[in-house]
Amino acid sequence: MRHRWRLVVAALGLTLLPAGCGSAPARAGGPGAARPRSHSPSPTASPSPSVQARLVRSTALPGGGDGPSGSLRTTGTAAVALTFDDGPSPVWTPKVLALLKRHHLHATFCLIGEQVKEYPKLVARIIAGGHTLCNHSWDHDEFMSQRSTKYIRSELTRTDRAIRKAAPGATVRYYRQPGGNWSKRIVRVSHQLGMAPLGWSVDPSDWKRPPTSSIIANVKSNTGHGSIVLMHDGGGDRSHTYAALRTLLPYLSRRYDLIRL
Ligand SMILES: [Zn+2]
């Protein structure tokens, strides 16, 4: 159960570490003031995607990360990547998939093992939509950096297995650490398991359910060439995120080459 961290935190009287990705509010204990701000490239960058970016999109893959502990913070090209965390959600994932399809766009979905086990058919739907999969740990463990290498490896492997069981033949080339609480060890294990450590550069904190207008304004002002945008299709009520996407998808696709990773 994902509630257990909330309980541990409450019992110890702790404040959670800065969480970049999305902890759902229910399990985040409401911190967030110390969350890292977006580190996106200059929003003043020219809005038109370069031809070169289109040409190299298929090679914009795991390189040396420019984010915390060597994680990937940007796409490495002018293209922008949309990423969705904490699903699959039986309510919101299908809606987000339908919206992406309507705009002929692809994204990357960072899946939680527990959710995959509960909603395996949604994994197949994500793949059928032509999107990229990312491992987001078994139970959204934001304290992974404090665990043993053996534990990290087993949690990532367990999630990977659940994804492959849900969608035989699926390829999972990315791992995203919950909370963005990376460590060198987590990055190393990710690489050893064949997954690039996926971070982000734009974080509208949509998991906290700010007003839709705030999510839109944040993404618009912080996204630039190379941005990896973090949003959520799981972890709670994503109605504000969904509403924001209805504006953001056409807005972003007019200005950038939007890629799945
Ligand atoms: Zn998350």
Q: Residue 135: helix, strand or coil by DSSP?
A: strand
Centroid of ligand 1 to alpha carbon of 241 (angstroms): 14
- Average pLDDT of the residues in 78-91: 98
What is the Cα–Cα distance from 236 to 127, expressed in whole angstroms?
A: 22
| Catalytic site includes residue 85 | yes
Q: What counts of helices (H) and strands (E) characterise the chain?
A: 10, 7
pLDDT of residue 64: 63
Catalytic residue among 232, 233, 240, 257: 232
All structural domains of the chain, each given as residue ranges with its CATH number in brackets, are: 67-259 (3.20.20.370)
Mean pLDDT of 17-27: 42
In angstroms, what is the span from residue 224 Cα to ligand 1's centroid?
23
What pLDDT shows up at residue 21?
59
pLDDT for res 31: 29
pLDDT at 65: 84
Helix (H, G, I), strand (E, B) or coil at 81: strand
For the chain, give the mean pLDDT.
Answer: 82
At 83 the three-state DSSP class reads strand
- Residues 254, 89, 136, 180: what is their CA dihedral angle, to the nearest 10 degrees? 60
pLDDT of residue 120 exceeding 70 = yes
**CA 1 / ligand 1 centre spacing (Å):** 15
pLDDT tens-digit series, residues 124-180 = 999 999 999 999 999 999 999 999 999 999 999 999 999 999 999 999 999 999 999
